[in-house]
Chains A and B, each alone.
Chain A
């Protein structure tokens, strides 16, 4: 299947990449970044939000470093999962992404910036024409949202990345680079509603790397992923939990695949005061999945209780 035409730019240094982006931004040309391509290319083949230019980060050197405290955006998920160099919780989540083959291509940056998903949206152009289009990608048509009908203000497509919640609970920081230089944000502030906005990246910016605080090696935790098949499938719900070894009062919990962004649950943790049953109930109440993935939202929501319980098990 062909993608619509675009020009691929392959810079070999970070400076070159940034100036390319700046130039395109300046000239008003739309473009996308491509890292591993496992998310972008299927969408492009289906004519979803294609742009006339694509800048590849594949050959920019120095972006694929992996250590406990820093992971470059081009670190392949295979290397995260198998390399033994990053935090075990990140490795665990990375190893659960899609399939071993996808993980050879897929990168940390791509996974964190994963486009939101929806079965009305992730379809070919031909298919979308049969539902009179989707307002997430066929914006010019003025069509309505098919998940929540009779509105085209809000997009409720689901964020189904596995790694983001683990980085959130480990207190990671995202470093974004763009025409105006580098800025840093906490991982949980990187994401921004709605399903179309997805995150705070501005025109020409991309996620350069993620850093984890010093002392993170003392943190342990778990990531629980709900899926039908142990390969290929995106999470239908995902819960990450982490705490400092020996100190349960530091417990942090984040969820994914339940809404348009992954989310920390600090309030719920505080409210439940160490009672995991209470915590799972609180989080269950706070998430509101919609019907746009494989399994029904009621079930996914209820499973949050089980996943929280299992993720917090010592």
Chain B
């Protein structure tokens, strides 16, 4: 045992030979101890994996991190570590930052869709008493943008304004009234240009494209990005037994976070910029600020405030952040800019309005022989994340099903609207809806149950998709089975009376993006976490991961607490400032739990090793025979033979002071080599299956979603409370898109509903009863097996509702949102067509199984055994997309089949047969024109 803590240094007994105590060598509790919980708790075996001697079942097999489980917090319903700040009103969001001497900034915005800025006269504004700074685009000529390849934004208009609400100038004044008045005094002369609102027109050559990309510009169109992909053998598609053709229109939707954007900029006494902003991705804002303000990054400190909801809408570097910094520099005082709700809609970055066409094929064995997808997405005035969105609309449809072929053409065009960008389920949501509805239709044609059709066509765990994505864990099958059971599917599907319906849909999403957006410096990690423990035993975790309410601080605290076997209250996460936080790429693409928690685990493991070594040293017991549990390290055989955490810690700190460790995460090398192969690559993927029940009022067309069974495979729920919150919240957001939310651009192209009354986010009354079902497939590379749960759960709700509406009234409407007028129109049309005079007499769809049904059931049962073996690593043979069609899993299909294609560019024959978005390929890039081609 340790000698304990004494008043004086030195070893030896505190009792003299004659039995008297030595005054100067009294034992006392170690400094830093104290508190009302002086006893160790017993190990919580319910949260220790069974293969490690606990009671937690492991149906999906063991995990690399199992041996670091201490039963402390992982898997337990854990309140957010910052919840108390939120329920007491102490959480400080963007507009809550109040610095001494602050002044108020306002932005002058364009009243025109598209115009050249001829002149700006700011003299009257500058002369208004109380105005301290005025700025225009001239002050910030540097371009920026979230993606390095498509920097096309300015702090304020340089040359042109590109949509109503685009930034033109800004002012800072002593108060809001003066600032608002000053803005109205700025006179701008515009030359109005021909605006484009319809994305289809964006495909055409025009005199004045919204942006000009020089030699890379595609013709003189407004096409910002085009994608062509062809994989597999499409030659036999015309022999299919079922085909589905769906032409879809999706309206744009906005994130609708409750906190409007707000920013405070302050140049401190050393001339460094302190910028307070509710950012999901502070690091990219950091980079852009340095560029635009022309200062080195080390002279900028980005302070992430609490974020009142992000959902992708606070992940671009924003022009108003630049404006605040410019105004503050000019005025020499802190400047706060807070948006009105309308301005939130003008900066937008919501989901792209889209025209999507899908053609889908199934053969007589009920195998999916082809997906053909064409997506024209409306990017609005700027590129934002659009380069990536253009790929995601296709490639994220390549799983969870095994495909005979895959063909995707996509184009993103600029229009004179607020920019679209990344929103929860980035790029995957709309196409997913279209193909899941297509599968429902094909199941109808084949006369089989749509769940069985899916179960018989799933890619197994540890396989490769047709475009080369590496799938690791895969809980799709369990998810489907659980929702089928939970919802009573077999008793309800195609059996309910008119007006009541049940439908299902699946989802597939990335858990972190395989490639970071910024590749410099090379081999830089995606996430880094620092842990620091001083003598008091409190664990300070520094991370740059942005907690936007999803609970990333909590997840990091949990994994550190778990590894070190400390109560979560001893873990203090510091994630607000770029000065103290290691670089993290931010909260997007559902990467935070996967990457940041992995980095945190690797840092915590370093600390754990030090503590174990010290304990081993003191106890003279080898490290392998020690156990960590609730603030103590002790012998496996005899729990009373041990040291406290603090004793071990202090031993480790001898001669060096605070323990400091750094952990990082980088994705493993993976993916194919074709152009665009990196888009959609992720170290893991989430899977989900939902069943929704709806009631449709056949007279009014109003849809009410009553129940949802929502199964999501998140690998391992580090915090089931948070995972369920994400699932239910995703249902709410997805329901909004499928039933009521839309950004309405009227006949003049103006956004008609930039407020929360007319932009219809579902209220509590529209919310169905959601039963969240967590599937744990234990991802081999995820932290304790975890994968994402923040975005994937949104995908299936859309098609589930659309399919349920079909089950209820036998009508498919391919135009979201399904507002009552559209449903009513469709009902009226059908009644006319079929000579029905009362909507109550509409025939609801019914199903008689064909022979194929049994065949599919048999195949899925076979596949079930296959998947269990693969999941538990009993079968480690490679599996590539195509095995279902008879290919050898060890040889790439292109080497086995002469007609197998991998192509990222249309051939000259294909050029004549392109669909809507694909027609962007009929234009020639400027540089090729110069070559004379």
Residue numbers of A with Cβ under 8 A of B are 1-2, 5, 99, 119, 123-124, 126-127, 129-131, 146, 226, 228-234, 294-296, 298-299, 302-303, 306
Contact = CB atoms under 8 A, between A and B. Distances in A.
B819 A295 contact: yes
Interface string B766-783: 100000000000000000
A127 B760 contact: no
Contact of B824 (A124, A130, A299): A299
A306 B700 contact: yes
A232 B763 CA distance: 8
A229 B753 contact: no
Contacts of B739: 228
A269 B750 CA distance: 41
A126 B760 contact: no
Contacts of B177: 2, 5
Contact of A127 (B180, B342, B701, B763): B342
Contacts of A228: 702, 739-740, 760, 819-820
A213 to B, nearest CB: 33
Given A2-B180, A294-B760, A295-B819, A229 B340 contact: no
A2 B164 contact: no
B254 to A, nearest CB: 15
Contacts of A127: 164, 342, 750, 754
Contacts of A303: 700, 824
Contacts of A230: 763, 765-766
Contacts of A296: 821
A294 B176 CA distance: 32
State the 5 A-B residue pairs at the shortest beta-carbon distance, nearest first. Answer: A299-B821, A231-B763, A230-B765, A130-B111, A306-B699
Interface string B795-835: 00000000000000000000000011100110000000000
20 contacts: A2-B177, A5-B177, A119-B752, A126-B111, A127-B342, A127-B750, A127-B754, A130-B164, A131-B750, A226-B700, A228-B702, A229-B760, A230-B766, A231-B765, A233-B760, A294-B753, A296-B821, A298-B821, A299-B701, A299-B824
B758 interface: yes
B176 A2 contact: yes
Contacts of A5: 177
B673 interface: no
**Chain B interface residue number, banded:** 35 or more
A303 B342 CA distance: 31
A119 B755 CA distance: 11
B758 A119 contact: yes
A302 B819 CA distance: 15
B122 to A, nearest CB: 17
A296 B815 CA distance: 15
A129 B748 CA distance: 13
Contacts of B824: 299, 302-303
Contact of B757 (A2, A232, A295): A232
A223 to B, nearest CB: 15
B822 to A, nearest CB: 9
B499 to A, nearest CB: 14
A2 B177 CA distance: 7
B748 to A, nearest CB: 7
Contacts of A232: 757, 763
Contacts of B748: 131, 146
B819 A129 contact: no
Interface of B: 109-112, 164-165, 176-177, 180, 340, 342, 699-702, 739-740, 746, 748, 750, 752-754, 757-758, 760, 762-766, 819-821, 824-825
Contacts of A119: 746, 752-753, 758
Given A123-B342, A229-B763, A231-B763, 15 more contacts: A99-B763, A119-B753, A124-B340, A127-B164, A130-B111, A130-B165, A131-B750, A146-B748, A228-B739, A228-B819, A229-B766, A299-B820, A299-B824, A302-B824, A306-B700
A42 to B, nearest CB: 8
Contacts of A1: 340
B2 to A, nearest CB: 61
B821 A229 contact: no
A180 B420 CA distance: 57
Contacts of A231: 763-765
Contacts of A131: 748, 750
A229 B701 CA distance: 13
A48 B716 CA distance: 54
Given A226-B700, A294-B760, A129 B820 contact: no
A25 to B, nearest CB: 28
B818 to A, nearest CB: 11
A302 B827 CA distance: 13
Contacts of B760: 228-229, 233, 294
Contacts of A2: 176-177, 180
A299 B825 contact: yes
Contacts of B752: 119
Contacts of A298: 821
Contacts of B701: 299
A298 B110 CA distance: 34
A201 B241 CA distance: 70
A126 B342 contact: yes
Nearest to B759: A294
Contacts of A129: 111
Nearest to A302: B824
A161 to B, nearest CB: 15
A34 B821 CA distance: 36
A99 B701 CA distance: 23
Contacts of B110: 130
Contacts of B754: 123, 127
Q: Give the most central of B740, B748, B762, B821: most A CB within 10 Å.
A: B821
B706 to A, nearest CB: 13
Contacts of A130: 110-112, 164-165, 750
A126 B109 contact: yes
Given A119-B752, A130-B111, A226-B700, A295 B821 contact: yes
A27 B701 CA distance: 54
Given A124-B340, A229-B765, A232-B763, A295 B753 contact: no
Contacts of B699: 306
B769 to A, nearest CB: 15
B789 to A, nearest CB: 27
A297 B109 CA distance: 32
A124 B820 contact: no
A99 B761 CA distance: 14
A104 B112 CA distance: 39
Contacts of B819: 228, 295
A292 to B, nearest CB: 10
Contacts of B740: 228-229
Contacts of B702: 228
